[in-house]
Structure 1
Amino acid sequence: MFIVHCLLFILFSCFTFHPFHTSLTQMEFDPKSQTFEISVRVFTDDFETALTKENGGKPLHLNLGQKQDKLVEQYVRKHFAVAGADRKPIPVTYVGYEQEADAQWVYLEMPYAGKSQNVFIKQDLFIDLFADQVNLVTIQLNQVKKTVVFRNNQPVQAVTL
């Protein structure tokens, strides 16, 4: 299922119009810095729709050369979060974003002590906009890789790191 989603995401990322709504989040542990490096890939048109709504309906375009870091960070923090087993948020640092073809990459970092633990991940980007939204989160920790699928009915999931 994951491979099919990834192939569809890559295939349709070449077109401005896409018949489905998906995002891909990659969380990769860096043992040197003891952090998860997090990359979120979203279609630009979907992101602009969400940011326009977040911006009180005032149209927003990401490809016009004007950086929108404040609004991008605000939106991503509202819709992506990680909490410990005690449900206390784990701090996530916003690094920035960049455009790639018809997509945007948003970069974050999260400290991680490297010890196995249960966490709750919230990934509900665009779920309030598109009923068919699917958000894939791939977690790479040492040699273990797992993928978690977030949908309208499952915007928060428990994961063991």
Structure 2
Amino acid sequence: MKLKIYILSLFSLLLLSSFTLADFFSSMTKVDYVEGNKTLKFTTKLNTEHISNAIKIRPETAGFEAEVKRYVNKNFDVFVNGGAKNLTFTGSQVNGESVWVYFEAPGVGDINTLRIRNAILLETYPRQFNVVNVAYRGQQKTMNFTRGRETSQVEF
């Protein structure tokens, strides 16, 4: 009986340690359409260590927010009904293991198609998985992005 418990404990320890060795690379973006001012508002959650490695600057450094802005502008594009939209960076905040990034696309009328290119962290982390959840006039759509599949489109 003790041997069974020992073997089971050893197996459980090995199983749990395999989870801690595997790093999980992901980002989550929520997109909300604000009807009143016809704006798409984006909130992106990134792992602090991962974005810091990608932009090669520590989060406590004065230039961190400016580098995050530059990085997001380079790696995230939005197209509404086939037309490119300019993104306005509205801020970011570091909260422990997460960095929250806020930006928006103003001047968005009715949306028939929404195409997004999300290459955030895909170059730095080949197994990176990015998710974008879109809320538009009571509809919810989800877009997924991986290396080799940096662009996705939804229809409303």
* TM-score bucket (shorter structure): 0.7 to 0.9
Tell me the TM-score normalized by structure 1: 0.77
Match of 2:23 among 19, 43, 46: 19
Q: CA RMSD in A?
A: 1.8
Asked if 1:76 is matched to 2:50, the reply is no
User: Residues 73-132 of structure 1, C-alpha deviation per residue, up to 9 Å, x if partnerless?
Assistant: 11001111112444x421110101001221000000112534132232000111111111
Q: 2:47 is matched with which residue?
A: 43
Distance of 2:96 and 2:131 partners within structure 1: 20
Do the aligned partners of residues 152 and 51 (structure 1) sit closer, same or farther apart at CA in structure 2, a change above 3 Å counting?
A: same
Do the aligned partners of residues 42 and 132 (structure 1) sit closer, same or farther apart at CA in structure 2, a change above 3 Å counting?
A: same
Match of 1:119 among 82, 107, 114: 114
Do the aligned partners of residues 127 and 65 (structure 1) sit closer, same or farther apart at CA in structure 2, a change above 3 Å counting?
A: closer
TM alignment of 1:120-159, pairs within 5 A = 120-159=115-154
The letter of the residue matching 2:142 is T
Do the aligned partners of residues 18 and 31 (structure 1) sit closer, same or farther apart at CA in structure 2, a change above 3 Å counting?
A: farther
> Can you give the 5+ residue segments of structure 1 that lack an aligned partner in the other structure?
1-16, 53-59
> Can you give the 5+ residue segments of structure 2 that lack an aligned partner in the other structure?
1-20
Deviation at 1:29, TM superposition (A): 0.9
Larger Rg: 2
Distance of 1:29 and 1:84 partners within structure 2: 12
Distance of 1:18 and 1:29 partners within structure 2: 36
Partner of 1:89: helix, strand, or coil? strand
Distance of 2:112 and 2:72 partners within structure 1: 24
The letter of the residue matching 1:76 is V
**Structure 1 stretches of at least 4 aligned residues deviating more than 4 Å after TM superposition:** none
TM alignment of 1:84-123, pairs within 5 A = 84-86=80-82, 88-123=83-118
Distance of 1:118 and 1:145 partners within structure 2: 13
Q: How many residues align?
A: 136
Tell me the TM-score normalized by structure 2: 0.79
Partner of 1:38: helix, strand, or coil? strand
